[in-house]
Amino acid sequence: MSGPTVELTPDTPSSPPPAQPAAQPRPSVARRIMQHQLFWPVVALIALIILCGIKNPTFLTIELRDGNLFGQLVDIARMSATPLLLALGMALVIATGGIDLSVGAVMAISLAVSLTYLDGAANPGSVSTAAVAVLLGVAVALAAGLFNGFMVSVLGVQPFIATMILMVAGRGVAMLITQGQITTVTSAPFKFLGSGFVFGIPTPVIIALIMLVAVAILVRRTALGMLLESIGINREASRLAGVQSRNITWLVYIVCALLAGLAGIVYGAPTMAADANNIGLMKEMDAIMCVVLGGTALSGGKFYLSGTVVGALILSTIERAVVIFHIPSQITPLFKALVIIVVCVAQSPKLRELLRDGAAKLRPRALPEVAS
């Protein structure tokens, strides 16, 4: 990889020392924290938790019961697992400038396949049967991802439309699998995926964390993350630089669908009911919301997995806060919308600019002597 330019310009001894400290002075630590894209989402999350804690002190308590963690905050972590799994994949898709509307339907399909298999299995309670069920569910999700990726990257169908096909048809497929029935099965090992504990931590949380680490490694320990960002930022420039956007785009839709399949299993495992019409309903919107709350732009480009985690936590905390604050059911959607609007507006670069300008204008007026 060494270019031929090593000793290219030996006649530039006066060039400044490479890299590191930028020419301009570093902004203060406080300012850097303020300007971090995660600042407002984290503030919102903490504020929500504190408000819930004030309203109801037991909210903040976490107790150990039979060696397992219990409490509202643990609930929130567990509830965040499903949206997080969806949002991890969604973040990658969105980074390429695409979108995957089918994740909710894929959840329904994979759960339907898993539970229908368990339902027909001779020994649904055995670990190996449950493992096969999970594998089958994920395999079907893989097929869905292959389809989405094919539509988008090979046929060039707009992602919104391409994935809407499965979003609409997917539930029909799930209905076919369950034959319109809500298949209910009993399988302890399968149920464990949704409501069990590992080292005292809820299994869904563990699964989500493992997937978070796996995705982080996939995108940040390889060049995948950078390349899919470059596709999202400037597709043509990326192409000319040799980025194989077709393969990468395809891969990303597959990853997204796999995670959605897993999310379906984790979501449905506690109740073991393959409710094809309702599992994952509107969950694609939740996933998109988590990604956006985390600071990733829908237009593609830079994506933030850590932000996505915060986004998922905010979403679950809002869900819970609605009950804690005794908000009447009729206005809960309004409450959720308000919180999300506040976070999004606080993140808006325009608003920050306005605030900065405003502050800059105020400053000299406030300190005239110093300014002169």
Q: Which of residues 72-131 bind other proteins (CB under 8 A)?
A: 72, 75, 79
Cβ neighbours of 358 (radius 10 Å): 10
- Of 349 and 368, CB closest to other proteins: 349
Give whichever of 126 and 195 is closer to other proteins, judged by the CB atom.
Answer: 195
- Give the Cα separation of 94 and 232 in Å (integer): 8
In the complex, what is the shortest distance from the CB of residue 293 to other proteins, in angstroms, rounded to a whole number? 19
Residue 233 is a binding residue for other proteins (CB under 8 A): yes
Alpha helix segments (H runs only) across the chain? 29-35, 39-55, 72-95, 103-120, 127-149, 159-178, 188-195, 203-220, 224-233, 235-240, 245-268, 283-293, 305-324, 332-347, 349-366, 368-371
The tokens describing 308, both together, are 């996505």
The count of chain residues that interact with other proteins, using the rule CB under 8 A, is 78
User: Under the criterion CB under 8 A, does residue 56 sit at the interface with other proteins?
Assistant: yes
Q: How far apart are CA 293 and CA 233, in angstroms?
A: 19
The C-alpha atoms of residue 206 and residue 184 are separated, in whole angstroms, by 25
| Residue from 54, 154, 176, 223 binding other proteins (CB under 8 A) | 223
Is the CB of 180 or the CB of 368 nearer to other proteins? 180
Task: Verify binding: residue 236, other proteins, rule CB under 8 A.
Answer: yes
Stretch that binds other proteins, among 42-50, 122-130, 274-282, 364-372 (CB under 8 A): 274-282
Q: Residues 301 to 360: which contact other proteins by CB under 8 A? A: 301-302, 319-320, 322-326, 328-330, 332
> CA-CA distances (angstroms) from residue 341 to 41, 305, 326, 345, 367?
11, 21, 21, 6, 35
Note the Cα 213 to chain centre separation in Å. 13
Contact flag: residue 372 with other proteins (CB under 8 A): no
The pairing of strands 62-65 and 68-71 is: antiparallel
Report yes or no: 187 and 130 within 8 Å, Cβ to Cβ.
yes
159 counts as binding other proteins under rule CB under 8 A: no
How far apart CA 152 and CA 163 sit, in angstroms, is 8
Which of 333/358 has CB closer to other proteins? Answer: 333
Q: Which is nearer to other proteins, 132 or 302 (CB)?
A: 302
Instruction: Name residues contacting other proteins, limited to 190-209 (CB under 8 A).
Output: 195
Nearer CB in complex with other proteins: 68/132: 68
Q: Identify which range of 124-132, 154-162, 243-251, 352-360 contacts other proteins by CB under 8 A.
A: 243-251
Question: Of 41, 45, 48, 59, which one interacts with other proteins (CB under 8 A)?
Answer: 59
Closer residue to other proteins in complex, CB, 70/192:
70
Query: Cβ distance 264 to 108 under 8 Å?
Result: yes
Tell me how far, at minimum, the Cβ of 347 lies from other proteins, in Å.
16
Tally of CA atoms within 13 A in the half-sphere of 194 that contains its CB: 21
- How far is Cα 249 from Cα 193, in angstroms, rounded to an integer? 30
Which position among 129, 230, 249, 347 is part of the footprint of other proteins (CB under 8 A)? Answer: 230
Candidate ranges 147-155, 256-264, 269-277, 343-351; the one touching other proteins (CB under 8 A) = 269-277
Residue closer to other proteins (CB basis): 132 or 336: 336
Among residues 35, 128, 222, 348, the one that binds other proteins under rule CB under 8 A: 222
| Window 127 to 156, contacts with other proteins (CB under 8 A) | none
Which residue lies nearer to other proteins by CB, 132 or 175? 175
Per-residue CA distances from 64 to 41, 70, 157, 340 (Å)? 29, 6, 51, 33
Instruction: Tell me the DSSP string of 105-122.
Output: HHHHHHHHHHHHHHHHSS
**Which helix H or strand E contains 202, and what residues bound it?**
strand 201-202
28 belongs to the binding site for other proteins (CB under 8 A): no
* CB 282, min distance to other proteins, A: 10
